[in-house]
Amino acid sequence: MFTLNVSGIGKHYRETLLFRDISFQLNRGDVLAIAGWNGSGKSTLLRVIAGLVRPSAGRVEMFAGSESIPKESRRRFIGMVAPAISLYDELTGLENMEFFCRVRGFACSRNDCLDIVDRMGLTEHAKKMCGDYSSGMKQRLKLAQALLHRPSLLLLDEPGCNLDSKGIKVVEEIISRQRELGVTVIASNEKREVGYADRIINLSE
């Protein structure tokens, strides 16, 4: 069973303090929302949890059962979607999926990649260049990429960004399904997205 333990996390950039003393523990099935004004550090907190940014204070721990997951092994447990994260425009949607399967080092057939692309409603566009996708289609492809390896920790930074009503339904299904797999952390200002969560941390307070 996957557990995420965040203790006393703080982050400052030069003299600007973004947040401090953020602590929480999440177990399988938990959904946490991180809310706050623009610039309050929601995305940065998600990046700290993902290990993309070093915190100024505190630590992030992950456990598979009782065993601690070392930092260098965490990437196979994490799936992340964020506005700042892009996929390769010069590859097709399907090629992006196949590339990330190979890079992550797990066996993934073309059909597996097609399945996940299909779940995101991108079947017709799977063989088109990602650079030709609309922003909504790119967001769906990012969701597909994040779910490819069935992560135990799903980090969603504004998951509904650029999505139509069908896309938002897809996000809701993803969050609902993720409760069986592991933990979800959502960073958002949208009431609807914050409403998916069992717990809320407001960085503006």
Binding interface with other proteins (CB under 8 A): 47, 50, 52-54, 72, 75, 78-80, 82, 84-89, 100, 103-104, 145
The strand pairing partners of 35, in sequence order, are 202
The residue among 181 and 194 lying less far from other proteins, judged by its C-beta, is 181
The residue among 37 and 88 lying less far from other proteins, judged by its C-beta, is 88
Shortest distance, position 104 Cβ to other proteins, whole Å? 5
The H-assigned helical ranges of the chain are 42-50, 93-104, 110-119, 135-147, 165-181, 191-194
Distance of CA 194 to the CA centre of its chain: 15
Residue 198 near residue 167 (C-beta atoms within 8 A): no
The residue among 27 and 86 lying less far from other proteins, judged by its C-beta, is 86
Shortest distance, position 192 Cβ to other proteins, whole Å? 25
Residues 6+ apart with CB under 8 A from 110: 94, 98
The residue among 128 and 194 lying less far from other proteins, judged by its C-beta, is 128
Shortest distance, position 164 Cβ to other proteins, whole Å? 23
